[in-house]
Structures are given as structure tokens and as C-alpha cells.
Structure 1
Amino acid sequence: MPWNIIGTNKHLSEKVMAVDMVVAFLSVVLCLVLGHWYRNRNSSVRIWPVVGMLPALASNAHGMLDFFTDVLKSNGGTFKIRGPWFPSSDFLVTAHPMNINHILCKNHENYDNALELKQILEAYDGIVVSNSHVWKRTRKAFLSFFQHNKKSAAYMDRILRQVIEGSLVPVLDHFQRLGTEVDLQDVLGRFHYDYMCLLAIGFDPKTLSVELPAVEIAEALRDIDGALVYRNVMPQMIWKLQKWLQIGTEKKLANGLRILDDFLYRCISTRRDELRRSEAKAEDRFDALTAFMMEEEGSDLSELRKSDKFLRDIAYDSLTVAKDSTNIGLTCFLWLLATHPSAETKILEEIKANCSDEKTVYFNGEELDKFVYLHAALCESLRLYPSLPLALRYSKKPDLLPSGDRVGPDTRIVLSLYSMGRSEEIWGEDCMEFKPERWMSEVGEFVQKPASLYLPFGVGPRACLGKELSVKMMKTVAINVVRRYEVKVVEKQKVAMTNKVLSLTTRHGLKVTLNKRL
């Protein structure tokens, strides 16, 4: 065969191969496009090849709560988020009340308290992420301290009044006299931190003063919190690499934990010495650390209480679990009142009818029950801005949710309590409005909503143990602030909400000015 014919055939063969490769490539592209179209045909969120819905999640990172709310509204209250192919990070997000009740109550044993959350909070071994018998015994002891102990109840009342009179009011008076702006969220955060330090370990850090000082322990807690937020939004491999290299937020986390541990272990050692000398058994000093150390022999915690590590976790629990919840609850409540004058007027009338002429007022539980409209307004605020906006669970076994959605084993599920509070199906077309009257009957009595529809403090075995304490604190602070000051929100500031690892927060604080009433 002539060489020119062989060359021509070879050239034609190469052309055919090239055409085949182009056709194959176009076929793959067509398959991807068709697959992309097919996956997106009924989806309110675009699913991209390989990366799934990651672009939508990334572009809505700072507004994730509202993003979930919009998606759930378009999909009947439950939606599956498709993650990147490698590794798979799909998860189910739901605000369906029957699903949430099923997961948190009826079949709670099948849903773990989030394996991923345990990794994120690996430095934290407290009641939030613990399971089994240790969790049950610790929960029982906390219930005893918060709800059934007369000594601790009297101590809580005394230190709450002490911090309001000795710190909160003087600081607010100071900024009122100056006529300057103040970040109300920062002030309330310092108030709550000082109160919880006194409650947890009997120590007053005095972070709430007119100088608004930086305090090493408070700074350490902020660094820890910031690192945990970072872990929550970044891929695990990235923050684990930073941990190994000890750089960035992981270095701050390690330093913060070291500072916190040194402080807490010193407190534990000091308190043990005081108890040996019987200096801390007085009725007016009964913080959580003292209460757990004094647990009687033979009780559920008689062995655990001997461990400094266990006592450290108890103190850390008390300082961090509700660190932001009461703060943001009060911040949002006072913000909503300041922007809804009619609701503020009704609360002022209720305060005038039930308060004495004393500058600082304090009430027990029965006396606070008289503030019906205040309670309704607080419930309405927590409906719109729940302190715990999201809850994370993992399924252990396959399950069928009440909505009809199937759940496989090891499925990550995000419960959007924030979205549930904004559901038209539950709260009506005016669900986005701040309307305390939705909690009131025609004769002015408070109307309790079903626990399955309203759960700002959670529900089921892992519901918030300090609910009554938090509500009492928020009402007491609100009464004393509202009757003393007219809170004016500084104009042209954007009050935007976002979520941390475990709680809601405002992204830029809440700048206000104060006018004197009393």
C-alpha cells in the first residue's frame, strides 16, 4: 500500500477520534446540564453540578436564618439542602411543628444531640453535648439548683437586685446624663455576664461599669465564642488544619481556654479551702459551685463532685450556656418596644398600676404574673427572635417524619425555630408583625400557645433548665429599664440578626440614647 494512502487513512482516523472525543465531551456536558435542569425543576434553590447548593448557602451566610425561612415557606416547611459531592454534606432543614415535636419529644432517643456539634465544641464537655448517665445526673442536679433549692433561689434574687442597683442603673444613668450613644446589647451582655459569674462561682468580675472595661476572662470567652462560630461555618478540614498549625482562630481558642481554665480551677481551689474552713456556708452565699461541692454523700453526684474537671464543666456550663440568650432576648425586646410606641405605652400603664414609688423594683413570681401585657410582649418578642434560632440533630436510625419525609441513618437535621415563629400557617398573615395582642384574650387574659408551636426555650428532655430564671430576669430588668428611661434607637443603623453556634445575636449591636423618665 502506498505510504500516502496510509498517511491519509491515519489522518482521517485521528480526525474521527477527535470528533468522537468532542461528541463524548458534549454528551457529558449535555448530561450534566440535563441533570442540573432535572434537579432544579422543582427546587427553589439552584443545584449546581459538583458543588450542589453550596453557592446559595455561601451567598446567604450572613442571612442564613432568613434564607432558611424563605426556602421553607416555598416548600411546605421541610427542605433538603444538597451539599457538594465530595464529601457529601446534605442535610434536612425543617420548621414543620409536627416534625420538630417528633424529633425533640416523641422519638428523641433516635436523634442525637449533633455529632458534628460535639466536634465543634470538643473543648466543651458540659450538659449541652453530653449524653448517657452523666448527662442525666448532671441535669437532675441543675434542676435541683435552679428550681427546687430555697437557698439558691434566695441567692439568685439577692444578686439580681444587687447587679441591677449596683451596676446596670448607674451605667445607664451615666450615659443618660452625658446624652451619648451607647450599645445596649454590650451593656446588657456585661450585666448578664456579671450576674452569671456571681450565680455560677460567687465572683463579681465588675465588667459593667461606666468605663466599660476590657476584662481578661470576658475577652477569653469572646475569643472562644468567635472560634466556635468560625468552626460552625467553615469546613472541618480547614479548622482542623488551623488547629494542628495553631494559627488564626484556633490559636485564639487555645489561649482563651487556657485563660478560662486557669481562672476556673483557681476559683475551685479557693472555694474548697473556704468550705473546709466553713466560710462559704452562709445562707447569703450559695452559688452553683458551692451547691455542687456541698452535695451530700450518697447522692447521684457524690463521686462526680470530687472531680475538679467536673466542677470546671459545671462552672463553664453556667457561664456560657445562657451567656447570649438572656442578653439577646432583652436587647430584641427593648428594641421592639422602642419602635412600637403603642406597646410601650401599654407596658408603662401596667408598670404604673403595679409598681411602688421605689426607684428599683423587684417582684417574686406571683407578683410578676400581674404584668400580663408585659408577658405577652415578651412572648411575642421571643417568637420573632428566639434566643436559640436553630437546633441541630443527627438521626441514629431510619425514620419517617410526620411530614412524610424519610430520614436515613446519620442524617443531619436542622430545626429552624426561627422560621417556625415566622410561619403564616401557624401565626397568620401578620406573622412578621410585632403584635403582643395575639397572646391576649378579649377580656385581657394571657392565652398560652401549644408547646409544639412555640418553643423559644426548647422542648423535651433537653429543654432549657433555666427557663424560669431567664424569664424572671428579663421581666425584672425590662420593668426597671422601661420605667426609668425612654429608649431611643439611633437612626440610620441597620439592626441585623445573625446566629452564633448556639444563639441569636445582632451583627452590629444596638446603638441607643436614653431619656430620663424617673
Structure 2
Amino acid sequence: MIQILVQLLPSFFLLFITPLLFFFFKNSSKKKHTAPKGTITFPKAYPLIGSYFALKAIGNRRVQWFSDLVKASPAATFILHRPLGRRQVFTANPATVEHILKSHFSNYPKGNTFISSNSDFLGTGIFNTDGDNWKFQRQVASHEFNTRSLRKFIEQVVDTEISDRLVPILTSAANSEGKILDFQDILQRFAFDNISKIAFGFDPEYLSESTERSKFAEAFEDATQIISKRAREPLPLFWKIKRALNMGSEKRLKIAVSEVQEFARNIVREKKRELKENSSLESMDMLSRFLSSGHSDEDFVTDIVISFILAGKDTTSAALTWFLWLISKNPHVEEEIVKEIMEKPENIVYDEVKEMVYTHAALCESMRLYPPVPMDTKEAANDDVLPDGTVVKKGMMVTYHVYAMGRMESVWGSDWAEFKPERWLEKVDDGKWKFVNRDSFTYPVFQAGPRICLGKEMAFMQMQRLVAGILRQFKVVPVPTLQPNFISFLTSQMEGGFHVNIQQRLHSH
């Protein structure tokens, strides 16, 4: 009976509100927005429920819908009216991004709304915390991203994973006529093994011929999806009631989080045992550093492990999924990348990976169009005014829309929709390409300011090495389908997976 009542709550809410809508209708958002050429319809905002109807109607087109609204708004900033009088700012304005991520950083933390919504899954891990706790985690983690660690990561961890696991799987698929792989799943497995080995000194051996997904992987995906849907729920009261009653999606979340935490906790316990037996600093990984820093509380370190699995597993795999799809649609780009790869020795090492300028540009271009984290939200600690004049009140959410920023004609030109690595390059005197960076407030794919991604260089090195390892020997051919759908939970995905055939590349070296 309780379960039925909770499921009917949204209907009861609307039944109660509907008479008020008729009464207040004339006062509901008199201001009309007109989009260029009449292509964008801005959502109507009503008293009490705001743009509830529009929010419930967008389904899995949330990223694209907000992108269209932001791009059609003056100063690339749009205010969404949420139920119960709450308002949220969405922006694709680089000056505003610099304002919230750098010059007024202290006024735009993650905030209580984001943290409380995600805490059941991410706890107090680095992506779900502010202040001193965030600073401490960032400081300890930063030791993992020096040149020595990066070299070790590429030449020991990534290379071994490619040669011993990935290449045999791709060779088998290439030799099996008609065999289809979900390459998004392959990349997630690859990245999961990588982050586990470099950060925790643990090898989950998840990348294998078996397509069977582990209980942990399924639980991690369930938890990620459910926790993300919480944040986008127009009325948070609904999920909070379900959580209190332990039912529906909240019951599934509890089960999934328990599975993920047990997996992470076992990694922590095993590392503690290893450190007791040998506390040598010579081969310390990130988890060892946390446990040796005096902060060895099991729950706290478990939260850290979960956050770094999320960062290492889902972001690079998302970036590479869309990258491989884009180059399959742009053969001239693939040809240039393969040419660059073939100029390097087969056993490519760290320094040679760094020199893959065209591949690096193609990855940047891919993430411009399909960023691994398409939107990021902060919460105003105090009243403020954004550079474009938008008034922000204490407690308001401010979201910078990375996906929209990569599609702004004012920033990228009239050819913004083209996949064009050359926009990141210029020719130098010897005819070679030189990479031309963009500032991180125009291109905040890795965030910007004090919270800029620590693993940015590691991510690029991993992706460039992986691209070389795949494209030197194989051609990734997507199964013919309609335009794939870009969706996002905590990170982006290709809806339904990335189904491909693998072909052996025919060339002489």
C-alpha cells in the first residue's frame, strides 16, 4: 500500500497544483524568450511548479536540451525555474566560467545540495567534498601525477594491458567473421584495470575474453545511474521519501552501493595488510599514501577508492568511445593518425607517446564535441552577480555547460559542427604540426582553476598510447546504426553501447 502511495505522489502533487495554475496562469512568466529563427522553445514557468512539465518531458535528451537553451540565450546564460521557487543558472559563457571556477572560487563550492544528493554513493571522496577535506585528498593524490609516475604508468601498466589483454581480444574478434564487440564496455574494462593497478596496486583482471560483467561492475553502473537521476529529479522530495521507505530505485541503490563499498573495502584491507608486512616507500601507490598519511579510517579511504574508480574508469573510456566513432566517420582524420603512429617504433615508449601531436589534437577535438563530463554544478555560498549581469542568490545552483561550450559558434567559428583536429594545430617551419592549446575557461573539459583535473596529463597519455596500440594493428568499424545518442549520468556514455566489428589493418611497416 505504501509503495503504491509513493508511486502516486507526483500525480497527487500535480492534482493539488493544477487549480492553482489556472488561478495564477496570467502571472506565470510574462517574459517571452524568442530564440534565433524560432528554432528553440523556452520552457514555460508556472507558479509553484516552475518548469516541472518541461523537465519531466525531456527524457534522455537532457544534455542537448539545456545546450540548445543556453546557446539561444543572451550572454549564453539561461535561468531555469525549478519547483517551489528554486532557480538554477546554466551558462556557456567563458567569462562566467572563469568567475565561478577561479576568481570567485571560494563562493562556488560543490555545495550541500550536490553533496547530500551523492553522498550515499560517493561519501566524502574527492569529487563530493569541499574545504579542508578536498584540499587534503588533492594534496595526497597529486604525488601520483609526477613525470616518474606517468612514465611508469605508460610503460608498465598501460603497455602490459594492451599487449597481454587487449590485443589478443581484438585479434580474436578480427579472426572471427561477423563477431561484434561492445567497444564501450571493452574500454571501461581496460580503464578499470589501469586505474586499479596504478592507484591501488591491485589488478582486477577485468579485461578478458569473457563478456560476462562482474557483480561489482553491474552494481557500480546501477549506483551511478540512480544517484545521477536523483540530482535531475525536479522534486527531490520524491527520492527522499523512497529512500526513507527503502523502496523502488532507492532500495536498488542501497544494494548496489553495498556491493561497490564491499569491493572497495576489500582493496583497502588488502593494502593495509601489505603495508604492515612491508612499509617501503619505494613503490608507494596512491592508496598506500593515503593509508600512510594518518587518515586510515576505513570508511573514509573506501570513499576515496570509489571516487578514483569513477574518475579513472568512466571518463577516459567515454572520451575514447566517441573518439573512435568520430574517426570512423572521418577517414581522412584516421589516416593522419595512423600515419603518425606508423612513424613511431612498434614498442612506443613514454617520450614518443608525448610526441603524438595530431592524435592529441584529435582527442581534444573529440572531447570538444562529446565531453566526458558534459555539465558541472556549483552552489553559491553567498549572493553574487555574474559578469553578464545575472544575479545569483545564496544557495542557487550554477551549472557550466561544457557540451554547449564546445558548440558555440562565437568561440569555435561557423564550422563548429565539424570534427576538425586542425583547429588545435599550426604548421611550424619544418612542416610539422605544433599543438595550440585553448584556455581552460573556454574549454573546461578538465575543469579549471584550483579544481582542475589532476589526472589530465595521465588521461591524455593513456588515451594516446591506447589509440596507438589499437590503430596500428586494427580498424574499428561501427555496426551500421542511426546517430548514437549522447547521454550522461555522472559521466557521459553512448546509449546502448558502441557495437563494432574489428578488422586487421592491412599495411606494411
1:35 paired with 2:27, answer yes
Gap change, CA 1:181 and 1:493, over 3 Å in 2: farther
In structure 1, what is the equivalent of residue 220 of structure 2? 221
In structure 1, what is the equivalent of residue 111 of structure 2? 114
1:445 paired with 2:434, answer yes
TM-superposed CA distance for 1:466, in Å, is 0.9
1:362 paired with 2:348, answer yes
Does the aligned pair in 1 maintain the 2:78–2:89 contact within 8 Å? yes
Does the aligned pair in 2 maintain the 1:152–1:287 contact within 8 Å? no
1:423 paired with 2:412, answer no
Deviation digits for residues 416-474 of structure 1, max 9, x if unmatched? 01101100000011111111111122443222222221121010111111111111111
In structure 2, what is the equivalent of residue 410 of structure 1? 395
| Counterpart secondary structure, 2:472 | helix
TM-superposed CA distance for 1:308, in Å, is 2.1
In structure 1, what is the equivalent of residue 447 of structure 2? 458
Does the aligned pair in 1 maintain the 2:426–2:434 contact within 8 Å? yes
In structure 2, what is the equivalent of residue 506 of structure 1? 494
In structure 1, what is the equivalent of residue 300 of structure 2? 310
| Counterpart secondary structure, 1:243 | helix
Tell me, in whole angstroms, the C-alpha distance in 2 between the residues paired with 1:46 and 1:230: 20
In structure 2, what is the equivalent of residue 242 of structure 1? 242
Deviation digits for residues 152-173 of structure 1, max 9, x if unmatched? 7525641211211121111122
Aligned positions of 1:177-256 closer than 5 A? 177-179=175-177, 180-234=179-233, 235-256=235-256
CA-based RMSD of the aligned residues comes to 2.2
Deviation digits for residues 109-141 of structure 1, max 9, x if unmatched? 111213221112112211112122221121111
Amino acid at match of 2:156: R
Does the aligned pair in 2 maintain the 1:226–1:249 contact within 8 Å? no
Tell me, in whole angstroms, the C-alpha distance in 2 between the residues paired with 1:327 and 1:30: 48
Does the aligned pair in 2 maintain the 1:207–1:213 contact within 8 Å? no
In structure 1, what is the equivalent of residue 334 of structure 2? 344
TM-superposed CA distance for 1:352, in Å, is 1.4
Gap change, CA 1:200 and 1:251, over 3 Å in 2: farther
| Counterpart secondary structure, 2:450 | coil
Aligned positions of 1:128-139 closer than 5 A? 128-139=127-138
Does the aligned pair in 2 maintain the 1:188–1:327 contact within 8 Å? yes
1:98 paired with 2:102, answer no
Does the aligned pair in 1 maintain the 2:226–2:253 contact within 8 Å? yes
| Counterpart secondary structure, 2:395 | coil
Tell me, in whole angstroms, the C-alpha distance in 2 between the residues paired with 1:244 and 1:250: 9
In structure 1, what is the equivalent of residue 15 of structure 2? none
TM-score, length-normalised on structure 1?
Answer: 0.86
TM-superposed CA distance for 1:307, in Å, is 2.1
Deviation digits for residues 380-438 of structure 1, max 9, x if unmatched? 11111111110101111111111121111111111101101100000011111111111
Does the aligned pair in 1 maintain the 2:29–2:46 contact within 8 Å? no
TM-superposed CA distance for 1:370, in Å, is 2.3
Amino acid at match of 1:510: F
Tell me, in whole angstroms, the C-alpha distance in 1 between the residues paired with 2:269 and 2:190: 26
Does the aligned pair in 2 maintain the 1:82–1:90 contact within 8 Å? yes
Does the aligned pair in 1 maintain the 2:155–2:349 contact within 8 Å? no
Amino acid at match of 2:353: L
TM-superposed CA distance for 1:83, in Å, is 2.1
Of structures 1 and 2, the larger Rg is shown by 1
TM-superposed CA distance for 1:483, in Å, is 1.2
| Structure 1 gap segments, 5+ residues each | 1-27, 296-301
Tell me, in whole angstroms, the C-alpha distance in 1 between the residues paired with 2:438 and 2:21: 53
Gap change, CA 1:78 and 1:277, over 3 Å in 2: same
TM-superposed CA distance for 1:68, in Å, is 1.6
TM-superposed CA distance for 1:42, in Å, is 5.1
Deviation digits for residues 275-317 of structure 1, max 9, x if unmatched? 2222x7495x543222333x4xxxxxx332x322232222222
TM-score, length-normalised on structure 2?
Answer: 0.87
Tell me, in whole angstroms, the C-alpha distance in 2 between the residues paired with 1:446 and 1:155: 23
| Structure 2 gap segments, 5+ residues each | 1-19, 36-40
| Counterpart secondary structure, 2:254 | helix
Residue identity (%): 29
In structure 1, what is the equivalent of residue 465 of structure 2? 476
In structure 2, what is the equivalent of residue 379 of structure 1? 364
TM-superposed CA distance for 1:184, in Å, is 0.8
In structure 2, what is the equivalent of residue 54 of structure 1? 52
Does the aligned pair in 2 maintain the 1:97–1:453 contact within 8 Å? yes
Deviation digits for residues 35-82 of structure 1, max 9, x if unmatched? 347233658414143333222222223112221222122212001112
Tell me, in whole angstroms, the C-alpha distance in 2 between the residues paired with 1:129 and 1:264: 17
Gap change, CA 1:230 and 1:451, over 3 Å in 2: closer
Tell me, in whole angstroms, the C-alpha distance in 1 between the residues paired with 2:501 and 2:171: 11
Count residues with an aligned counterpart: 472
Tell me, in whole angstroms, the C-alpha distance in 1 between the residues paired with 2:153 and 2:417: 39
